[in-house]
Amino acid sequence: MSELLDVLVVGARCAGATLALFLARAGKRVLVIDQAHMPSDQPISTHFIGPHGMAILDELGVGAKVRVFAPAVPHIINGVEDAIARLPFEPGREGTCPRRADLDALLVDEARAAGAEVALRTKLVGVLRESGRVVGAIVEHEGKRREIHAALVVGADGQHSKVAALVEAEEYKGYDCPRAAYWAYWPRPASYATDERYGGGAALVYFGDEYRIIFPTNTDQLLIGIGFPNDKLGEWKGRHREVYLERLRAHPWTASFTAGEPSSKIVGFVKGRFFFRQATGPGWALVGDAGLFKDPAPGLGISDAFRDAKALAAAIAEGGDAALERYWRERDVNSIELFEFARELGSVGYNNPLNHKVFAKVAASAELRGRIIEVHERRRSPFALFSTFEVVSWVLGELVRGRFGILRPFLEAGKRGGEVAKELAERRALAQRSHVVH
């Protein structure tokens, strides 16, 4: 492309390819580049797409294509120790867990079919600036460099975004992940769908200071992983394969699926960092993990990437820096509670007496289970799952029985909820100001 582009998208995975698809269908002149080839895997991913994300894929007309190679996941299994709840999705609004090699390649093909140009095996080298504004980029393909001029350069290039580094996007609310994790793919036995414990669902369960994840991905595989506190990394150093297999084979939740050998290498996530980044500036924007990277424990990332790609496409269509800033501020409003929810689920102290009591109540109540599904459908805040009266009554019931361990996590949860409410109010104020026309 020698003419001026409307948008250059750096990164062609679930955020970037989806953005390019929205833009191309809106008639924008768009080029999306990625240093990888497609199809190629993206192993640092839970692969989970919740109802909200699937609704966006259906809007784009690609949801049915995804379900061909990654059938619906009927429910989520959550809990601590023996207090475990099965949370069913509404029929027709289930989640799914596609392998990223298949999902990302499909989205790239759809973007190309809609009119976007796609350049794979093409890496970003630098950005072009005029009077402090980004006006394009320098890219390299097979050792040859060229300049590409664009009205907007979008970084959709993941948590270690080069676009974010080059434009010096400010990080805020960042923190280091308190856990490490290892996982691999395993053959999925037919019994996974019929076993009373799993029933074909996606599981995140806590035992001691570890959590176990089982995600049924595509039609024939299970992603099985272990998350553990960073201070236990020494036990894994130099022998992560042996420890991973020992842990899985010794635990009743995973032993029956891991007697053989994994069908992939074992992947690790250590020393992670989660953050918000400034999402827009003169001539540039960030979307997906490049601008907002949260703990993967609740599996929100892909759905949020679709959500933000759709919102950014609308801002680009509206035009102007003010619309882009509104995208940024509204992204924060829509994300702050989910970010803190993910932080809580990934915390080392999540397995505590309060959460044990909560999950026991959820397991016994269809109405409470439905509330949690509403979080995945983005119809309820994770901090509005239970009323103050409900939680206080549960805590008092435990205290009367002499179970005082519930008091500390209860007080900590109350404090955290107040802090999140305060920050949400601040983010809403910034969003409101972004709508004021100067």
Q: Is the pTM of this model over 0.85?
A: yes
Q: Which residue has the tokens 């008092």?
A: 396
Q: How confident is the model at residue 1 (pLDDT cuts 50, 70, 90)?
A: very low
* Residue 437 confidence (pLDDT): 57
Report domain extents, the chain.
Answer: 5-70+94-175+273-334, 178-269, 344-434
Q: For residues 116-139, give the mean pLDDT.
A: 98
Fold for the domain defined by 5-70+94-175+273-334:
FAD/NAD(P)-binding domain (3.50.50)
CATH architecture of the domain formed by 178-269: 2-Layer Sandwich (3.30)
**Per residue in 207-227, pLDDT tens?**
999 999 999 999 999 999 999
Using a pLDDT cut of 90, give the percent of the chain over it.
95
DSSP letter at 253?
T
Q: What is the pLDDT of residue 41?
A: 84
Whether 51 shows a pLDDT value over 50: the answer reads: yes
H or E stretch including 281?
strand 280-281
Report which residue type is found at 305. Answer: A
pLDDT digits (tens, 9 = 90+) for 340-399: 999 999 999 999 999 999 999 999 999 999 999 999 999 999 999 999 999 999 999 999
| Spatial distance between the Cα atoms of 129 and 167, rounded to a whole number of angstroms | 10
Cis before residue 282, ω within 30 degrees of 0?
no
Contact 379, 98 (CB under 8 A): no
